[in-house]
Structure 1
């Protein structure tokens, strides 16, 4: 039996290869995700270990605002004197290193790096890690040295100049040195570095002189690092973080790995979706192959083969396909990872000091998943084949169509439950479970739709076919597509699932864009907005309110005098500034703002709920109603709030307001912001025009005020709304790219079905040719059949996705349901293109069929 199975496998190797492609693609995606994230993680581990190799113990202040990426207050120089008497310390070095030194390139724009920090540091001379490659270190206030990565990125040379933005506005320095690192790289993980003299670095990066971002302690030879750490921690108390070099490296690496874990989960989720979609392709392939071999299997059964042997023979074929396809997928995944590593290094500038890391256990798991998916998909056709009576199977009528009643009932149950869940969420009858009900309803609805597709095809395929089949070959193609509803349903299931997700994403993204644009237009009374690069696009954050510094970076800002000068321009009725940051409340982090509320109130459309929106001193705040409710505060209470620089302090709540898209969280005075926020400069400026003012003229005049700041732009309301809405574009595009692999598998499914169907209908095609059908008609017939199936699947998927997206919009309470008709039309066009691509090879094969051989074919 095994020998017969292997012989049969060799005879059908080309047919099985198409099924194996689905496994290859899915396993490739899974293994590439695993290898890429493992390599990047190991590379950054190596970098962090290198940078902390000379650190025995590190001392830094505890952040006033929770989270590893928020601003950490500097360490006063007095702490160095306090530690000088500790017997276990051999040397103390004050370090100045902070993200936020933004170099300006030759084009006048800030040099952008995707992810790595832009560090401003104090020059400490050549150490075991830092090595000068050209020139010398800075000695004057207007001199800097830069790392080789930045020199290459910006084309800077020793003797030239470089403009840098920091906590202070744009400043010009002379480049006197270029340095690299002992591991041979010109950058550590793609970061750019500008090294100032110590006093300048302290002022520009930390906001004041006589302070350090951290202290590096070298222990005496006889003192263990852990012992010195514990002694220093006991001496300094809870206001400081004291860690060994190993702990510091591990913590820094863990922060990076947390992000990598998120990336890995996302990639694996979409890879899993590809494998899930591949199941339909494999199931369809084996269903067709088993149906074509019904007579052969019946003959084997008549000769004495038992049911388990028949099932086993099909599963052996599936196992061999799964093993070979998974092995190829693993190899391709490693190759893809090599390319992804190179692209990542080229885009980010990060030079990973490690080769490709291949996590063997993870890849073995991916291999096993690929084989298991193939076996599961082949099991149903195998069991079906084993149940056919030998005598019945050897008759020509053995392949009669089965009733759709059972599968229709099986699909109706999850479909009804899914619709109930979606309606429960939309009508808000499930309370706090509405999101769970919506998610579960969409999944169940998708499952039910897949199972109901055979029944739906009997009704909808003729309608779609009449639109595409306007000739005799076209009508034959339509009838062929409707001939086997089960097969057609499984074939288009990939397109239904994929385009359902794509359609839903499109509707949600477009509705979110409209919602954001509407909120900006409704809440904002200003005609022009002055903002740092990217600030206006992030206005509102995830839940309203301005952008914050929670990512640890110094936000683009501008001089407060810009707003004062703008207020005096002809045609300007008024101008006001807004400062932004992140603060810590007893219940967690929150956006925070500062500004003159007498003008911000009208500009941002604030509605007073209780008390007053006027602040008379730096220890008074107003708070939005959502934050008041979450914290259990009331107007008149004293609230404890920790600012980035000021730490925990008590503030009296003098008023409350309704939060809107542009403002939420506590609001402080400008004086408090200059002392206690990360940046003492405003991030947003609002300009209101006089009724008769020309917007373009005033905009040009305001732009002149910030012409020397490469991060700051002036936008009108329309631009601001567009920029704010555009933040969904990247996420939408990424989702489409990740779903693209499923679309490819969907095309493969149609190709496979069409190719196997042509083989199955060889005799029929020969008869059609014998009665006078030309080759062009044969091509037309096959193309029409493929188009009918792909358009049917595309319409069904997009309709479901659109309805699911509409349900999300309703549950989320968005202002408007927006359907991206153009995008949906493009997606439907892609489905048509998929049908045409899928028909190329099968139609060519059908046209070339030998008439006499086909008529004699059995």
Structure 2
């Protein structure tokens, strides 16, 4: 039976090619994803481990509980000296770091967000910092000098002696570049930038004078990290700091890098999973048609003594061989995809540290297993059907067709499953936190529709009859051929339906969320602009002062966050306080109050969002005990309760009340209102007033809402990539189906040619059949996607009151047009093949 299966595979190479391609695509994306993420993760881990070459023990401040008053205690010079003297220590280095934006010669920011860092140059007894060997120039000394990593300097065209514009917390600083250094720092290797200042300057910029954020101790020759850590523990202040070995830090960072790659890996594997899921339809369809075409052959095997199990095993053996070929070629293609993705990272500016291409044994095993298992499972049902062919069928040349009973059973099961899925989705829309129920209901509904697709094909395809009549006999035959085998049509259309369902649903959700966020920004903000750091790091209070002094500015309010504890004793809970300019806050925001009002936000008065008020049981007029960041106690009076949103929420009070309790005053953002409203001229004026600072972002309401909706946009763009892959697989499915259909109807096509239908008419008939099947899948996909988009929107509306359902008619039409294009492209080869059939040979064939 195995030899029989092998001969069948070799005899039907062309028919199985589409199946191989479909499985190969899915396997290629699985293996490519695993190779890519393993390579990137390994490169970053190797790079990060180099950064710990000079760190045997690290002393770090113990962080306080989230939201608790008081920042983590900084490390001082006294502890640094004590650590340097412990037995087994060769040296101790105090470090301090923070955000530092470097402008290129065109004033643009080099690097992105948190990858643009600054730190201190800490010379040893020889006057050099072993971590940062100088390539050119000298080490920085004094507040006006700094050194820059070689990668950034070369990219921007800077050399020692140049004057460079930088920014740490807002205002632009012009610093002299005294030296260029090399480094193994993982952030720099990944495309970031690193600026070094002398220790005193760095402490003033990033911490407080005399304070360090970390102390790194290097072991003397022969001393182990564990022994050094034990010695360091003895000099640590009680409950103020903790020591960790360099190996532990490297392991933690490696773990963090691996976890950070999990999200990317999951997203890419989801693409591959959908492609394989869509490919299952093609595999099942292919083997179903192969079995149907070999009815006499399989029945003859039964007649000469083959058992049902042997026939099933024969079909599954074919599937195993096909899956093995697809898995091996998919693995090879995936390795190429992984290498290509890594190269692509460099072209889009996301530099990856150097390292080998990593092909883990698990990647090979998973790729081969996925390809073979998916193919064999998809072929199991056709194989089971093949085993049921009675030996008497060998005497009958008519292929077995589905019985009425089997179709009734299928439609009944499909109706029950679809009904249960629809009910679950609808019920979930009226519940809170019902994401799991809705997701499960959506999956059940999708399965139910797939089961019902043969039943739905006849009425939906019948709707196209008036249009097809315009194409004469070719159009009429195309419609009849499309509904002749409903199961085949259903399996072919379902491949496209799945992809379009996902992309339509996400498009509806993304457009609706964007509209809701735009409305929220319009409703909540009266301010024309929001000024913040490009890295979302703290902003210097000098920025707000400079903006408030401009003639065109009518109102300014910085927003400051500070930890606190609400309540007294052990029941006190951590909460962040938001400080604002109480005098101008009402001119810059539009809050909907459910209790009380904004009023005069001065002294101990505060306003609270409804979620926080509900959590604590507060109402307007409540007196709230508070412990500020410096440990001092006070009482806040709730003057109003407002409806919070993504932009404005929490406990809001006047900065005049909050500032005396803050150790270091920094702003998260600054809201600004100008005389003429948001105009290009006003924005340019603000940008110029801030020194055309590359580190500062000046955003209007549209920019603010786009920033909030960025995650949805990113997800949508990823799903468009998913659609492209699903479309490729769907095209293969349609080609496969049409090729099989042409093969089965050779006699019929020969007769049509004999009675006068020319080659152009034959081509038109096959193309129209393909178009109808593709549009059938497109209509189902778009319809289900809109339904799922509406249902998900009902859940989102609970947390986003301004959510409003938006149906992007243009894109929905584009998706249907895409389905039509799939049909046209998929029909090119089968139509050409049908038109070239020799009519006499076709009529004689059996």
After TM superposition, the score normalised by the length of structure 1 is 0.89
Residue correspondence of structure 1 range 494-643 to structure 2 within 5 A: 494-526=495-527, 528-532=528-532, 553-554=537-538, 559-566=543-550, 568-569=551-552, 573-579=554-560, 593-607=578-592, 609=595, 622-630=607-615, 635-640=622-627
Cα offset, 1:239, TM superposition: 2.7
Q: Does the 8 Å contact 1:450/1:489 carry over to 2?
A: yes
Question: Mind listing any 5+ residue stretches in structure 1 that lack a counterpart?
Answer: 536-548
- Tell me how far apart the structure 2 counterparts of residues 65 and 342 of structure 1 sit (CA, whole Å): 42
| Residue aligning to 2:809 | 821
CA contact (8 A) 2:160 2:180 kept: yes
Who is 2:421 aligned against?
Answer: 418
- 1:781 has 2:765 as partner: yes
- Residue equivalent to 1:444: 444
Structure 1 position 477 matched with structure 2 position 478: yes
Aligned to 2:434: 434
Q: Is this contact kept in 2: 1:554–1:678, CA < 8 A?
A: no
SS at match of 1:236: coil
2:652 paired with 1:667 = yes
Is 1:772 the equivalent of 2:753? no
Query: Closer, same or farther in 2 for the Cα pair 1:811/1:341, shift >3 Å?
Result: same
The total of aligned residue pairs comes to 823
> Do the aligned partners of 1:421 and 1:441 also contact (CA within 8 Å) in 2?
yes
Q: How does 1:12-91 map to 2 (within 5 A)?
A: 12-64=12-64, 66=66, 74-83=74-83, 86-91=86-91
2: distance between equivalents of 1:587 and 1:304? 82
SS of residue paired to 1:817: coil
| Cα separation, 2, equivalents of 1:808 and 1:587 | 37
| 1:166 corresponding residue in structure 2 | 168
Q: What is the distance in 2 between the residues matched to 1:456 and 1:660?
A: 44
Contact 2:421 2:442 in 1 (8 A): yes
What corresponds to 2:689 in structure 1? Answer: 705
| Residue of structure 2 equivalent to 1:316 | 317
Distance, in Å, in 2 between the alignment partners of 1:780 and 1:588 is 73
Match of 1:684 among 653, 665, 670: 670
Aligned 8 A contact 2:89 2:219 in 1: yes
Distance change in 2, residues 1:590/1:500 (3 Å): farther
* Contact 1:116–1:191 (8 Å) recurs in 2: yes
Structure 2: how far apart are the matches of 1:176 and 1:47?
26
Shift of 1:432: 4.3
CA distance in 1, matches of 2:93, 2:118: 18
Q: What pairs up with 1:790-801 in 2 under 5 angstroms? A: 790-801=774-785
The answer to whether the 8 A contact 2:142-2:201 is kept is no
Rate the CA distance shift 1:713–1:132 in 2: closer, same or farther, 3 A. closer
Compute the TM-score of the two structures, normalised by the length of structure 2: 0.90
Quote the offset at 1:510 in angstroms: 0.5
Distance in 2 between residues matched to 1:47 and 1:714, nearest whole Å: 35
CA distance in 1, matches of 2:258, 2:116: 16
C-alpha separation between the residues in 2 aligned to 1:582 and 1:52?
A: 32
Q: Tell me the distance in 1 between the aligned counterparts of 2:243 and 2:146.
A: 30
CA–CA distance in 1 between the matches of 2:210 and 2:540? 25
Residue-by-residue CA offset, 1:117-141 (whole Å, 9 max, x unaligned) = 5344435465544322222222343
Could you tell me which residue of structure 1 aligns to residue 155 of structure 2?
153
Which of 615, 636, 646 aligns to 1:653? It is: 636
Question: Which digits, 9 at most, give the CA deviation of each residue in 1:397-419, with x for residues without a partner?
Answer: 33334332121112112211111
Instruction: Tell me, in whole angstroms, the C-alpha distance in 1 between the residues paired with 2:817 and 2:726.
Output: 16
Which residue does the alignment assign to 2:304?
Answer: 303
Query: Hey, what does 2:742 align to over in structure 1?
Result: 758
Distance 1:460 1:575 in 2: 60
CA contact (8 A) 2:170 2:540 kept: no
State the alpha-carbon separation in 2 of the partners of residues 315 and 174 from structure 1.
73
Give per-residue Cα distances to partners, 1:194-252, cap 9 Å, x unaligned: 1122222222233x322222111123456542243245345323332321111111222
SS at match of 1:397: coil
Q: Which whole-Å CA distance do the structure 2 matches of 1:675 and 1:150 have between them?
A: 39
**Cα distance, 1:489 vs structure 2:** 0.4
C-alpha separation in 1, matches of 2:684 and 2:242: 49
Structure 1 match to 2:141: 139
Deviations, residues 489-540 of structure 1 (Å, cap 9, x unaligned) = 00111111110011100110001001001111111123x11423668xxxxx
Q: Partner of 1:440: helix, strand, or coil?
A: helix
Say whether the 8 Å CA contact 2:533–2:669 is kept in structure 1: no
Match of 1:544 in 2: none
Change (3 A) 1:146 1:697: closer
Residue number in structure 1 paired with 2:261: 260
Question: Quick check: 1:131–1:182 contact (8 Å CA) kept in 2?
Answer: no
CA RMSD of aligned residues (A): 3.0
- Can you give the 5+ residue segments of structure 2 that lack an aligned partner in the other structure? none
Report the alpha carbon displacement of residue 697 of structure 1 after superposing the two structures with TM. 5.5
